[in-house]
Amino acid sequence: DAGVIQSPRHEVTEMGQEVTLRCKPISGHDYLFWYRQTMMRGLELLIYFNNNVPIDDSGMPEDRFSAKMPNASFSTLKIQPSEPRDSAVYFCASSDSDTQYFGPGTRLTVL
């Protein structure tokens, strides 16, 4: 298996623009997690899905953030409008058990 796939790997955008991050989980995994990593706050869980249904979105920082999982093989995390403080590395992870498998991350820079 190719592992968790994320795109793009790097994204540079200007404040106010819409940003969409994409994730393809490992086939057969029924849990999908979105994390944000910064030096100041470490690894933060934003939202997670089970069988394509959002289970816990309490980590989503504000209404500018939204996530969807239209099918078992695809999820998006959207930021609209983006702000400089959203600059971070965003990870997607999937699991079918206790172990979470992380993707390579998307490094987002908002100017």
Partner 1 sequence: QQQVKQSPQSLIVQKGGISIINCAYENTAFDYFPWYQQFPGKGPALLIAIRPDVSEKKEGRFTISFNKSAKQFSLHIMDSQPGDSATYFCAASGPGTYKYIFGTGTRLKVLA
Give the CA angle between residues 23, 25, 28 to the nearest 5°. Answer: 155
Q: Could you identify the residue written with the tokens 């298996």?
A: 1
Query: φ and ψ at 84, to 5 degrees?
Result: -55, -35
Q: Which is nearer to partner 1, 62 or 98 (CB)?
A: 98
Q: Which is nearer to partner 1, 39 or 62 (CB)?
A: 39
Task: Assess 20 for contact with partner 1 (CB under 8 A).
Answer: no
Here's the x/- map for partner 1, 25-54, by CB under 8 A: it reads as: ------x-x--------xx-x--x------
Q: Is the dihedral of CA 58, 60, 63, 67 positive or negative?
A: negative
Q: Which residues bind partner 1 (CB under 8 A)?
A: 4, 31, 33, 42-43, 45, 48, 55-56, 91, 93, 95, 97-105
